[in-house]
Amino acid sequence: MPLDHQANQDEKDFRIVGQRPLRPDGIDKVTGRARFGADMTAPGMLIGRVLRSPHAHARIRSIDTSKALALPGVKAVVTRDDFGEVSEDLHDVLVNCMAQDKALYDGHAVAAVAAISASVARKALKLIEVDYEVLPHVTDVDEAMAADAPALYENAADESVPAGMSKNVVRRYEFGHGDVETGFAAADAVFEKSFKTEATHQGYIEPHACLATLGPDGQGDLWVCTQGHFAVRNVCAALLGMEVSHLRVTSSEIGGGFGGKTTVFIEPVALALSRKASRPVKMTMSREEVFRASGPTSSTSMDVKIGMNSDGRITAAFAELRYQGGAFVGSPVEFGAMSAFAPYDLEHAKTVGWDVVTNRPKQAAYRAPGAPMAAFAVESVIDELCKHFDLDPLEVRLKNASTDGSQASYGPKFGKIGLTATLEAAKNHPHYSAPLGPNQGRGVACGFWFNFGGQTCVSLNIQDDGTVGLSVGTPDIGGSRASMGQMAAEELGIPYEKVRTIVADTASLGYNDISEGSRVTFSSGMATIQAARDAIQELCSRAAQMWGIDEDAVVWEDGHAKPAGENAGKFDPMSLADIAAVAANTGGPIAGHAEINADGAGQSFATHMVDSEVDPETGRVKILRYTVFQDAGKAIHPSYVEGQFQGGAVQGIGWSLNEEYIYGEDGRLQNAGFLDYRIPVASDLPMIDTVIVEVPNPGHPYGVRGVGETSIVPPLAAIANSVSAAAGVRLTHLPMSPPRVQKAIKDAK
Amino acid sequence: MLITVKIWGSLKAAAGDQSEVQVEAKNIRQMLDRLGEAHPRLKPQLDRGVSVSVDGQIYRDAWFTPLKPENEIVLLPRLSGG
């Protein structure tokens, strides 16, 4: 990036960055004024509903929609035939939105209707006749890898998969360096264990919802709850054969996403219905549909082998990871394989990942996709070795920790990173020395996530009263409107309250990548800073004109244009508001822009510490105390950073203890609702304590690192280590629900 | 100029069983083009998308990022997130 990054961000004297101003969306959200996906209406609006497969795997012989179309009040019915051919990279996206020749999982969309009311739409769905040929199914990853498993596809594997494997094995990944066998031979002890994790849903409170308008003139508008409205626009336009600029997409407020709203489900269907009916169509998923047909994360099966010397030094590490990603290629096993050993500086490391398809919904990204499961397996084996050698688990991690210049197990050498700082903070925290009672245990674990930047655009408009309108293109999923406002105010030297930040629609800015990859505060922040500097240059130019001096003779300090020195002349400083007030007379409106590809995202590490108590009779686990230590680089708005830390920990608690997709013998999901799929509620949780560590990222002008995903990487492992210590037996299968814990205790006796 | 590119394990077979390959390139775009030409079996993965680490900094789309012989250059799967 061409930005003149601070040589040493630690020493930058921030005025607004690092403060905790009130959140700009707070009033809207607590008063109900905020408009989410389902809150938009339009004149003449129809209601869309989807017919979903009741079978886990079935050939679709025919679909007869004639009776549904004849029902009074029904205005349109669509099936796969209403979409044209698409490019290979979008084929799976379309098939997931609307089945083609086969239903690939329970809940797979096969048709949709638009009607004048929800009740008419529901009646119409019952009139659609689908002739299915039910096929054998498979939902478990290990069973899907068996040679005789029912195959979803004939030829989905790429060149990486060796011949002779199950047709459900579609990709193989391998990372590492050194020679693990040499390393194992040099170890004082080598431990190997197998682990399983069940699929969990992102659990966002707001279901998918949108309002689509696509008229006979080919012009479309889409209001949608999403993490990436530019990506939604491009994908929907491609699926519907539209030109990109003919579809404008506006993102609503978002009631949680966590990666699950980075793709499309109902949006192209709503547009297709609207096009056919020539009326606006609103679609909202029910909670049951969210569970059955929007992305959970992968379920996994993993083997980890680690060698260690009696002094705690790891000599070699190997992991074989098997992730099922639902009915389509693309489980996050490659990221699991890349991140598994990233926290550790190892001479010999190797990971192998297998991507497997099953008759489940297509997995969608879930916060640091693929990493938490791998960390669970790796950190559990390290914990076992620490116990074997009677070593302090934090000291062992410090001894092996990746530091600046370490070669990561996935390839590159690390730049400036903060893992050691998080471990030191954990070691020195009072939590680590707090006493434990009977049936209680303490666990620690480390986690890593890559972070990235991506395409980003920002427009910053100086209004004539000296206030600032800041338009960003990344939906606000974690407080970014506040942090962007802070960075703009910091650069411009004006109060935070003078900046209003909005998320602009797709017609108003250039392309923005999705709000994913912990990239928003990093990349939109970088663009905001650049846009502010662009505006400052213009402000200085206007002042120079008014003073009749060279532009180079003007500097911007504390929100004012000033002569650069004695030689520049003697003029009273002009504030941003002074210059803005006469902008019409000095050249017109003043604005700053940035259209960038933000590179330089810094990797992020965390250490988590958990105390739990196990009831040996029932197997119930209670989390007693939880502390997160994570490197944020620079916390722009510490309250939001702490919120990200806490949110990751809480989702990790649910993943570890309760949440799981349960499939019956018939391949149908048995717990598609929050009564039977239990996410943690406030009464289940202690206060999650947080410690923000700041090791500035040299790739960002303020030192920012992404924080949104790393916080979910260590919890599964830290909680498993804690529960295993409390129960006196190693827990290897998540979630550690009461029956599993009870059985493990019983089996160990 | 001749640069050295590390590739991840599962691509080794496609690069003649090498974990490091050398190509003439001044920037990321040239590097990707030369890799595909020199090792056609890498092409499917290059077409699906990759990230490139240059001295520890990850680039996804920046074709014209300059490369020098002294850089540590690592080919990686295309990174995304949640």
Give A273's DSSP letter. H
Q: Which residues of A touch B51 (CB under 8 A)?
A: 452
CB A426 within 8 A of CB A443: no
Contact: B57, A415; criterion CB under 8 Å = yes
Nearest residue on chain A to B79, judged by CA atoms?
Answer: A452
Q: Tell me the two tokens of residue B57.
A: 């900094």
Rounded to the nearest angstrom, the minimum Cα separation between B62 and chain A is 7
Residue B61's pLDDT band, with cuts at 50, 70 and 90, is confident
pTM metric for this prediction:
0.96
- Please give the C-alpha separations between residue A640 and each of A53, A426, A526, in angstroms, as whole numbers: 40, 21, 18
The type of residue at A241 is: G
- DSSP for residue A712: G
Angle at A477 between CA A472 and CA A481, to 5 degrees: 40
Q: Which of A174, A519, A600 sits opposite B10 (nearest CB)?
A: A174
Q: Chain A contacts of B82, Cβ < 8 Å?
A: 202, 258-260, 262, 364-369, 516-517, 709
DSSP 8-state assignment for residue A37: G
- Judged by CB atoms closer than 8 Å, whether chains meet at A258 and B82 is answered as yes
Inter-chain CB proximity A518 and B81 less than 8 Å = yes
pLDDT at A4: 44
Locate the chain B residue with the closest alpha carbon to A516.
B82
Question: Chain B within 8 Å of A565 (Cβ-Cβ)?
Answer: no
First to last CA, chain A: 60
Tell me the nearest-neighbour CA distance from A516 into chain B, angstroms: 5
The residue among A200, A294, A452, A515 with the most chain B CBs within 10 A of its CB, best to mutate, is: A452
Q: Do B80 and A334 touch (CB under 8 A)?
A: no
B68 interfacial to chain A (CB closer than 8 Å):
no
| A619: contact with B, CB 8 A cutoff | no
- Whether A5 contacts chain B with CB within 8 A: no
Taking each helix axis from N to C end, the angle separating A371-389 and A393-400, rounded to the nearest 10 degrees, works out to 110
Helix (H, G, I), strand (E, B) or coil at A305: strand
Render pLDDT for A341-372 as a digit per residue (tens, 0 to 9).
999 999 999 999 999 999 999 999 999 999 99
* A709 and B CB contact within 8 Å: yes
The pLDDT value recorded for residue A11 is 59
Half-sphere exposure of A576 (CA within 13 A, CB side): 28
What pLDDT score does A10 carry?
52
Complex ipTM: 0.94
Edge-to-edge strand ranges of the sheet holding A468-472: A499-503, A468-472, A454-462, A590-598
In the stretch 344-363 of chain A, residues with CB closer than 8 A to chain B read: 350
Partner-chain contact A597 B57, CB within 8 Å: no
Query: Between residues 10 and 39 of chain B, which touch chain A (CB distance below 8 Å)?
Result: 10, 12, 14
**A160, A172, A450 ranked by CB distance to B58: nearest:** A450
Instruction: Please tell me the distance from the alpha carbon of residue A378 to that of residue A342, in angstroms, as a whole number.
Output: 11
Mean pLDDT, chain B, whole residue set: 92
Which pLDDT score, from 0 to 100, does residue A159 have? Answer: 87
Distance CA A267, CA A284 (A): 10
pLDDT tens for each residue of A285-306? 999 999 999 989 999 999 999 9
Q: Specify the pLDDT at position A550.
A: 96
Q: Calculate the CA A306 to chain-centre distance.
A: 29
Enumerate the residues of chain B whose CB falls inside 8 A of the CB of residue A518: 81
Residue of A nearest to B20 (CA): A411
For residue A597, the chain B residues in CB contact (below 8 A) are 60-62
3-state helix, strand, coil in chain A (%, to 5): 30, 25, 45
Q: Name the DSSP class of A663.
A: B
Query: According to the model, what pLDDT value does residue B14 have?
Result: 87
Separation between Cα atoms, residue A183 and residue A400, nearest integer Å = 14
3-state class (DSSP) for residue A81: helix
Residues from chain B that touch A368, judged by Cβ atoms under 8 A, are: 81-82
Nearest CA in chain A to B53: A412
- For residue A600, the chain B residues in CB contact (below 8 A) are 57
From A114's Cα to the closest Cα of chain B, the distance in A is 31
Write the DSSP string, A671-696. Answer: --STTTS----GGG---EEEEEE---
pLDDT at position A5, please?
Answer: 46
Cis peptide bond prior to B66, omega within 30° of 0: no
| A597 → chain B, closest CA residue | B62
- A155 contact residues in B (CB cutoff 8 A): none
Residue A328 near residue A92 (C-beta atoms within 8 A): yes
Tokens of A85: 């051919």
By DSSP bridging, strand A621-631 and strand A688-693 are parallel
Question: Helical H runs in B1-82?
Answer: 28-38, 43-48
DSSP string, A402-466: --TTPBPTTSSBP-S--HHHHHHHHHTSHHHH----TTEEEEEEEEEE----EEEEEEEEE-TTS
Contact A413 B62 (CB under 8 A): no
Structure tokens belonging to residue A344: 């550790």
**Residues of A numbered 688-707 whose beta carbons fall under 8 angstroms of chain B's beta carbons: which are they?**
699
Chain A residues close to B76, C-beta within 8 Å: 338, 410-412
Minimum-distance CB partner of A411 among B59, B74, B80: B74
Longest alpha-carbon distance in chain A = 89
Min Cα–Cα distance to chain A from B51, Å? 10
Element (H, E) at A529: helix A525-547
Residue of B nearest to A351 (CA): B9
Task: Name the E strands within A478-558.
Answer: 499-503, 554-557
Question: Please, which residues bridge with residue A691 across strands?
Answer: A629
Kindly give the parts of chain A with pLDDT less than 70. Answer: 1-11
Amino acid at A471: S
Residue A38: enclosing H or E segment and its boundaries? none
Q: How many CB atoms lie within 10 A of CB B80?
A: 22
**Tokens 């505060």 belong to residue:** A521
- Contact by Cβ (8 Å): A357, A170: yes
Residues A339, A377: Cα–Cα separation, whole Å: 12
Q: Is A262 on the interface with B (CB under 8 A)?
A: yes
Cβ–Cβ below 8 Å for B61 and A454: yes
Separation in Å, CA of A644 to nearest CA in chain B: 13
Q: Does residue A175 belong to the interface with chain B, where contact is any CB pair within 8 Å?
A: yes
Q: Any residues with CB less than 8 A from the CB of A342 and at least 6 apart, and which?
A: A402, A408, A409, A410, A448, A603
**Chain B residues in contact with A338 (beta carbon < 8 A):** 76-77
d(CA A75, CA A115): 5
Q: How far is A367 from chain B (nearest CA, A)?
A: 4
Count other C-beta atoms under 10 Å from residue A497's C-beta: 12
